[in-house]
A and B are shown apart, each in its own frame.
Chain A
Amino acid sequence: AQSVTQLDSQVPVFEEAPVELRCNYSSSVSVYLFWYVQYPNQGLQLLLKYLSGSTLVKGINGFEAEFNKSQTSFHLRKPSVHISDTAEYFCAVIMYSGGGADGLTFGKGTHLIIQP
């Protein structure tokens, strides 16, 4: 079975400071990895994804994440945050089956709070 752990439920950061949101996963097979963002009263929006290739992936809004297979991690980073980045961030994994039979498995989310 696959699972996703987001260690921090809340991360407060000052505006223009860097941020890292942590994500670890467990799976017995290869995985695809995703980060989604959810703004208040909105649906989930894809930030970035790792399917194959380069382990450093860049997404929208200046975010990037690095896939580390040995540490089973996929941490999300941004060098300088803005007030508009305040949102809930979800890490998600799907098993490398090609069939998507179980859909995405999500972590519990990390609430990024940007302080002025």
Chain B
Amino acid sequence: DTGVSQDPRHKITKRGQNVTFRCDPISEHNRLYWYRQTLGQGPEFLTYFQNEAQLEKSRLLSDRFSAERPKGSFSTLEIQHTEQGDSAMYLCASSLLAGAGANVLTFGAGSRLTVL
């Protein structure tokens, strides 16, 4: 297992364009989380999935942000009509569903978004 994979590692886009990030979690992990990290700040929780169900999405930053995990494996985070304020690192993490590992998140390297 290669851990949590995120793609692309860096995306540069123009304001108003749509962008999509992909996350492949650790294969046996049922839970998948998305976070945003801006410069000088800690990661900020956005949303999470348990298998294919999105159990928490009220913390997504606006209705321009959406996430999917259609088959309970990989997930995508889409930002529509990007704004310069969306420039940040988008982090994905995964964890087990139960037991001591349920609260231990493994993070990917992140996808850095730059909106010009």
Contacts and interface: CB of A to CB of B under 8 A. Distances in A.
Given A90-B42, A108-B40, A42 B109 contact: yes
Interface in B34-80: 35, 40-45, 48, 55-56, 59
B41 A100 contact: no
Contact of A106 (B42, B104, B110): B42
Q: How many of chain A's residues touch chain B, expressed as a range?
A: 20 to 34
**Which of B31, B42, B95, B107 has the most C-beta atoms of chain A within 10 angstroms of its own C-beta?**
B42
B103 interface: yes
B41 A108 contact: yes
Interface in B1-31: 4, 31
Interface string A38-61: 000111111001010000000000
A48 B45 CA distance: 20
